[in-house]
């Protein structure tokens, strides 16, 4: 019994002494928050942004100051310790005050930072922590401008860290991280170097360092007396378990700082790391651990529908899991370092990473801008150093785009802009290499020779091209030509595609995809073409689609305003067709998927077969229709196509490939019967468009337009109004007073009639319009000064008659409603065998965006 008590005491003492002394706790909940211009504070939890809503409204979102306050009780105990506050990221200038005293200030919205609070605290007392944050535009802080929202707020976790009096260094650029370098790795041996630094050094400190292998078994365990505040330790791992996308093996290093007199652990540090080596060969592509690997994946922004950038870690994990499940092995965390968890997740999942700082579109020629950019790169590298997933450090994106597109820049200004950008690139390159000799540096360019002629493209190790052939520039097939030329002219440059892809909208479906129609089908067509062209070229390291998910960009006016819609998945992460296409192309386990989740209603001509696309990674796909009809089709480019002659009905499709099976129910309706059907279902037509549009609120499908057919319906005269010959969308502008932009953005100009051969009866006709000409606003409509000829074209004016009755005289959309506004005019009419809507121009051209016919 006595012995047992004695043992308990020993166990207690050992337990007490070896207990880690670093306490880390999140302090995310219950902050009082107030925006500079608001009257009342509110209570919020972190992650938080003040722009989750206003970045998706008309006009500029708020960019200015917000203040967070919180009372923190600090116990007496902590007087014997050191207390720190850690931010994983806050956008973009942060000042931390403790009891009204400034404890620290940080510039930049995308990296972490830590401040020591100890000197300002009252112990056994409440302390006020006040955080002042500012996301206003600042000419000296990147990003200056970009195609995404600079949401303000403390949008990543905040932690309180408590250590012993002597502790590992926490403040400073590396925000508590210490590099674990792997300067030489082979299958036989990995050399590992761990550099660390201690604050409040004294001679009785020792370090206990343990490395464990991916299964958690100790590889090395060593104790070192500290002779100075800094220590560098070398380790060797024999036959290391290499890190790769297939086997993301992670080692762990844990270091305890111990007071050798008392045996007390004062602080501890832990980090995963991995053993791998890689290279980028300008002729043969990318190699990981000596084996070629084509880098295929996506870019990813950090925001989410209705949340802005204040997303929980669980969403970060879900995103990267989806990217991994798609079969990708590569990710670009564009355009800024993301949450620290993101890189941990990429390590664990096995995704190779390009991470970059937000030096985008433009550079300010100031010392401060250069300094802040370099500081961001230093913080990025020092904080993320240990992640084996990271292979590229990026530092510029399309840095000459403003210069190219700003029309009135003088030659001298252009020269100066090029000079300062090249100078900054050189500094960033040097800094990158100074901090890390093992990774590759990279920058992303837009399609313009200025990057070559200016010499900037010669600075980094690897070049990423952002190429939008088939979208911003014409011809999907021009991609290969462009790349081959670059490769020929600059044979020593390893090349990647850092961005590509068109916008798409799940509400827009067609079998006849065209550039700028925002259909899922055009997105698919474009990605198939890109993937093929890259796979054919050994010299290409790989490619990253723009973007994994739709994301917020307040300046955007696409088919969903304020959102960049080039995602493989929607803003809420609901996959678009193209996501499954990649899954079929990139995964090995049997996979089959019937495309068209948002195209289950097929409204077609009687004699037209239904086109069904099935994605698969097999050679053949079998399709049953209503469990009977069996068809088999060859898989080309991971797509099997079926042309099915189906009755007007609901049909159950089932596709099988290998061990995988997928079903989808589709409904077929014949256009010829829509008139007959009108008593049950209004006839809704997406005038001027070749695509069907689904109104998400009502479920109505606005079918693609057709020329008038006797005993049926359709338009007479006119042409589809297009932005340009190659852009199959009438207007790329936000249309006011609707969320059904695509319905109004496409239209038929010069239309003469819209006719329906309907039986006698009472009908309601709704005509949908928008004036697409931005210049034709109410404000300038009477201003016929120097711009008179233009203005008269803007003053489109027409009469409308329905079955001969004048229902609109001199309808002038711009004058009466304003440009780019959804206008819906309704009329009730009796039919005498037909409804004939006549459009008669008075000035300029007639125009119509949509038409709906309901039987009353
Ligand atoms: C780019 C930019 C990216 C944009 C993208 C687009 O080249 O690098 O930030 O979002 O194009 O969608 O236009």
Cα 785 to averaged position of ligand 1 atoms, centre (Å): 38
pLDDT at residue 786, rounded to an integer: 41
pLDDT at residue 780, rounded to an integer: 41
Q: Find out whether the beta carbon of 547 lies less than 6 Å from any atom of ligand 1.
A: no
| 3-state SS, residue 788 | helix
**Tens digits of residue pLDDT in 635-679:** 999 999 999 999 999 999 999 999 999 999 999 999 999 999 999
Q: Find out whether the beta carbon of 166 lies less than 6 Å from any atom of ligand 1.
A: no
Test site for ligand 1: of 564, 565, 567, most ligand atoms within 8 A of the Cβ: 564
Q: What's this model's pTM, rounded to 2 decimal places?
A: 0.95
- Extended beta strands in 510-564, E state: 540-545, 551-557, 561-564
Q: Is the same domain home to 696 and 729?
A: yes
Q: Is the same domain home to 467 and 575?
A: yes
Q: Is the same domain home to 148 and 249?
A: no
pLDDT at residue 408, rounded to an integer: 86
Residue 414 in any domain: the answer is yes
Q: Find out whether the beta carbon of 466 lies less than 6 Å from any atom of ligand 1.
A: yes
Alpha-carbon gap, residue 616 to 630, rounded angstroms: 17
Q: Is the same domain home to 269 and 247?
A: yes
What is the β-pairing status of strands 218-225 and 205-212? antiparallel
Alpha-carbon gap, residue 513 to 578, rounded angstroms: 14
Q: Is the same domain home to 417 and 555?
A: yes
Residue 288 in any domain: the answer is no
Q: Is the same domain home to 440 and 585?
A: yes
CA of 564, closest atom in ligand 1: 12
Cα 355 to averaged position of ligand 1 atoms, centre (Å): 16
Q: Find out whether the beta carbon of 546 lies less than 6 Å from any atom of ligand 1.
A: yes
pLDDT at residue 15 tops 80 = no
Q: Find out whether the beta carbon of 556 lies less than 6 Å from any atom of ligand 1.
A: no
Q: List 664's β-bridge partners, or say none.
A: 653
φ/ψ (deg, to 5) at 837: -95, 120
Q: Find out whether the beta carbon of 356 lies less than 6 Å from any atom of ligand 1.
A: no
Q: For residues 224 and 260, is the Cβ–Cβ distance under 8 A?
A: no
Q: Find out whether the beta carbon of 740 lies less than 6 Å from any atom of ligand 1.
A: no
**Tens digits of residue pLDDT in 223-253:** 999 999 999 999 999 999 999 999 999 999 9
For residue 502, give the CATH number of its domain. Answer: 3.20.20.80
379-416 burial, b at 16+ Cβ within 10 Å, e below that, comes to bbbbbbbbbbbbbbbbbbbbbbbbbeeeeeeeeeebee
**Tens digits of residue pLDDT in 702-716:** 999 999 999 999 999
Residue 283 in any domain: the answer is no
Q: Find out whether the beta carbon of 362 lies less than 6 Å from any atom of ligand 1.
A: no
176-198 burial, b at 16+ Cβ within 10 Å, e below that, comes to bbbbbbbeebeeeebbbebebeb
pLDDT at residue 783, rounded to an integer: 37
CA of 401, closest atom in ligand 1: 7
Hey, whose CA ends up nearest to atom 4 of ligand 1?
147
pLDDT at residue 377, rounded to an integer: 98
Q: List 704's β-bridge partners, or say none.
A: 686
pLDDT at residue 17, rounded to an integer: 42
Residue 114 in any domain: the answer is yes
User: 63 or 777: which carries more pLDDT confidence?
Assistant: 63
Cα 648 to averaged position of ligand 1 atoms, centre (Å): 43
CA of 553, closest atom in ligand 1: 10
Hey, whose CA ends up nearest to atom 5 of ligand 1?
147
Q: Which of residues 652, 669, 686 is at a domain's end? A: 669
For residue 665, give the CATH number of its domain. Answer: 2.60.40.10
Which tokens belong to 531?
Answer: 């993937």
Contacts of 319 (CB under 8 A, 6+ apart): 300, 548, 549, 573
Q: Is the same domain home to 365 and 263?
A: no
Alpha-carbon gap, residue 453 to 720, rounded angstroms: 41
Q: Find out whether the beta carbon of 147 lies less than 6 Å from any atom of ligand 1.
A: yes
φ/ψ (deg, to 5) at 181: -95, 150
Q: For residues 167 and 226, is the Cβ–Cβ distance under 8 A?
A: no
Domain range for 621 is 601-669
Alpha-carbon gap, residue 1 to 792, rounded angstroms: 105
Give the CA count within 13 Å in the CB-facing half-sphere of 732.
19
Residue 608 in any domain: the answer is yes
Test site for ligand 1: of 405, 499, 549, 555, most ligand atoms within 8 A of the Cβ: 499
Alpha-carbon gap, residue 148 to 556, rounded angstroms: 9
**Tens digits of residue pLDDT in 564-582:** 999 999 999 999 999 999 9
Residue 289 in any domain: the answer is no
Q: List 797's β-bridge partners, or say none.
A: 843
Q: Is the same domain home to 152 and 195?
A: no
Cα 147 to averaged position of ligand 1 atoms, centre (Å): 6
pLDDT at residue 737, rounded to an integer: 94
For residue 149, give the CATH number of its domain. Answer: 2.60.120.260
* 463: nearest Cα among 497, 489, 491, 514: 497
In whole angstroms, what separates CA 514 from the centre of its chain? 24
Cα 452 to averaged position of ligand 1 atoms, centre (Å): 20
Which tokens belong to 805?
Answer: 């009755």
Q: Which of residues 594, 609, 636 is at a domain's end? A: 594
Strand order in the sheet with 650-657: 592-594, 610-616, 639-644, 629-636, 620-625, 650-657, 660-670, 601-604
**Tens digits of residue pLDDT in 582-631:** 999 999 999 999 999 999 999 999 999 999 999 999 999 999 999 998 89
Cα 727 to averaged position of ligand 1 atoms, centre (Å): 18
pLDDT band with cut points at 50, 70 and 90 for residue 778: very low
Hey, whose CA ends up nearest to atom 9 of ligand 1?
147
CA of 334, closest atom in ligand 1: 9
Q: Which of residues 140, 168, 196 is at a domain's end? A: 168
Hey, whose CA ends up nearest to atom 6 of ligand 1?
147
pLDDT band with cut points at 50, 70 and 90 for residue 21: confident
Provide the domain count of the chain: 5
Q: Is the same domain home to 363 and 412?
A: yes
Q: Find out whether the beta carbon of 398 lies less than 6 Å from any atom of ligand 1.
A: yes
pLDDT at residue 779, rounded to an integer: 42
**Tens digits of residue pLDDT in 279-305:** 999 999 999 999 999 999 999 999 999
Task: Determine what percent of the chain is predicted with pLDDT higher than 90.
Answer: 91
For the chain, how big is the Rg over CA atoms in Å?
31
Residue 279 in any domain: the answer is no
Q: Find out whether the beta carbon of 499 lies less than 6 Å from any atom of ligand 1.
A: yes
Mean pLDDT for 834-840 is 97
Q: Residue 13 burial by CB count (10 A; 0-12/13-18/19+): exposed, middle or buried? A: exposed
CA of 397, closest atom in ligand 1: 8
pLDDT band with cut points at 50, 70 and 90 for residue 794: low
Q: Is the same domain home to 427 and 442?
A: yes
For residue 701, give the CATH number of its domain. Answer: 2.60.120.430
Q: Find out whether the beta carbon of 431 lies less than 6 Å from any atom of ligand 1.
A: no
Mean pLDDT for 35-48 is 95
**128 noted as active-site residue:** no
pLDDT at residue 696, rounded to an integer: 95
Q: Is the same domain home to 615 and 728?
A: no
Residue 730 in any domain: the answer is yes
First to last CA, the chain: 95
Q: Is the same domain home to 65 and 155?
A: yes
Q: Considering 398, 520, 622, 771, which one is annotated as catalytic?
A: 398
* 600: nearest Cα among 663, 513, 683: 663
pLDDT at residue 777, rounded to an integer: 52
> How many C-beta atoms lie closer than 10 Å to residue 293's C-beta?
19
Cα 388 to averaged position of ligand 1 atoms, centre (Å): 27
């Amino acid at each position: 019994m006595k012995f047992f008590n004695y043992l308990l005491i020993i166990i207690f003492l050992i337990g007490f002494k070896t207990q880690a002394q670093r306490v880390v706790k999140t302090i995310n909940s219950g902050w009082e928050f107030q925006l500079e211009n608001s009257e009342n504070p509110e209570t919020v939890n972190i992650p938080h942004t003040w722009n989750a809503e206003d970045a998706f409204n008309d006009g500029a979102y708020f960019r200015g100051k917000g203040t967070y306050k919180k009372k923190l009780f600090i116990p007496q105990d902590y007087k014997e310790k050191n207390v720190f506050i850690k931010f994983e990221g806050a956008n973009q200038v942060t000042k931390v005050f403790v009891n009204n005293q400034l404890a620290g200030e940080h510039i930049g919205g995308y990296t972490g930072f830590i401040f020591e609070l100890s000197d300002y605290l009252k112990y056994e007392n409440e302390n006020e922590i006040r955080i002042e944050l500012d996301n206003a535009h600042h000419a000296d802080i990147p990003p200056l401008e970009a195609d995404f929202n600079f949401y303000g707020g403390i949008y990543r976790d905040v932690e309180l860290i408590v250590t012993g009096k002597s502790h590992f260094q926490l403040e400073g650029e590396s925000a508590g991280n210490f590099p674990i370098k792997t300067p030489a790795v082979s299958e036989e041996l990995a050399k590992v170097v761990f550099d660390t630094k201690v604050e409040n050094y004294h001679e009785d400190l020792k370090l206990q360092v343990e490395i464990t292998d991916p299964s958690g078994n100790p590889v090395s365990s060593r104790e070192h007396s500290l002779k100075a505040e800094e220590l560098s330790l070398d380790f060797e791992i024999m036959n290391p378990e290499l890190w790769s996308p297939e086997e993301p093996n992670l080692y762990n290093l844990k270091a305890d700082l111990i007071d050798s007199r008392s045996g007390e652990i004062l602080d501890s540090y832990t980090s995963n790391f991995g053993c791998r080596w890689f290279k980028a060969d300008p002729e043969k592509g990318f190699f990981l651990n000596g084996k070629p690997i084509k880098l295929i994946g996506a870019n990813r922004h950090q925001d989410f529908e209705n949340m802005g950038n204040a997303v929980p870690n669980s969403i970060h994990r879900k995103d990267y899991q989806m990217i991994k499940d798609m079969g990708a092995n590569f990710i670009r965390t564009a355009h800024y370092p993301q949450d620290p968890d993101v890189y941990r997740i990429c390590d664990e999942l096995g995704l190779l990473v390009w991470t970059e700082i937000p030096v985008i579109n433009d550079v300010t020629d100031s010392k401060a801008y250069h300094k802040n950019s370099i500081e961001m790169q230093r913080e990025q590298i020092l904080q993320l150093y240990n992640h084996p997933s990271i292979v590229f450090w990026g530092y510029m994106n399309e840095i000459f785009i403003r210069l190219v597109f700003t029309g009135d820049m003088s030659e001298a200004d252009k020269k100066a802009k090029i000079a300062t950008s090249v100078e900054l690139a050189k500094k960033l390159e040097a800094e990158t290499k100074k901090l890390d000799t093992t990774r590759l540096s990279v920058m992303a360019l837009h399609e313009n020779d200025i990057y070559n002629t200016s010499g900037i493209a010669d600075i980094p190790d690897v070049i990423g091209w952002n190429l939008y052939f088939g979208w911003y520039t014409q011809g999907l097939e021009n991609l290969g030509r462009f790349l081959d030329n670059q490769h020929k002219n600059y044979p020593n440059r390893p090349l990647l595609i850092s961005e590509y892809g068109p916008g798409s909208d799940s509400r827009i479906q067609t079998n006849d995809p065209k550039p700028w129609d925002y259909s899922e089908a055009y997105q698919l067509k474009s990605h198939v073409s890109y993937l093929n062209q890259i796979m054919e070229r050994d010299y290409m390291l790989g490619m990253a689609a723009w973007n994994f998910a739709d994301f917020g960009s307040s300046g955007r006016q696409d088919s969903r305003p304020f959102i960049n819609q080039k995602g493989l998945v929607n803003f809420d992460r609901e996959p678009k067709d193209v996501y499954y296409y990649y899954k079929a192309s990139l995964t090995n386990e049997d996979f089959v998927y019937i495309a068209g989740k948002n195209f289950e209603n097929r409204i077609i001509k009687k004699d037209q077969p239904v086109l069904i696309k099935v994605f698969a990674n097999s050679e053949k796909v079998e399709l049953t229709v209503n469990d009977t009809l069996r068809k088999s089709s060859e898989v080309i480019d991971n797509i099997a196509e079926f042309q099915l002659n189906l009755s007007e009905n609901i049909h159950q499709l089932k596709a099988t490939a290998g061990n995988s099976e997928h079903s989808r129910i589709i409904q077929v309706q014949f256009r010829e019967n829509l008139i007959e059907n009108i008593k049950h279902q209004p006839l809704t037509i997406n005038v001027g468009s070749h695509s069907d549009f689904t109104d998400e609120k009502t479920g109505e499908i606005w079918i693609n337009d057709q020329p008038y057919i006797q005993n049926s319906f359709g338009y007479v005269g006119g042409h589809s109004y297009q932005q340009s010959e190659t852009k199959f969308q009438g207007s790329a502008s936000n249309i006011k007073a609707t969320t059904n932009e695509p319905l109004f953005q496409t239209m038929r100009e010069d239309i003469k009639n819209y006719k329906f051969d309907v039986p006698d009866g009472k009908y309601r006709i709704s005509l949908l319009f928008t004036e697409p000409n931005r210049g034709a606003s109410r404000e300038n409509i009477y201003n016929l000064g120097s711009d008179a000829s233009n203005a008269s074209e803007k003053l489109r004016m027409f009469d409308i008659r329905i079955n001969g009755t004048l229902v609109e005289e001199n309808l002038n959309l711009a004058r009466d409603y304003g440009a780019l506004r959804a206008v819906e005019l309704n009329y009730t009419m009796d039919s005498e065998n037909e409804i004939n809507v006549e459009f008669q121009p008075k000035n300029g051209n007639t125009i119509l965006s949509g038409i709906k016919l309901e039987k009353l």
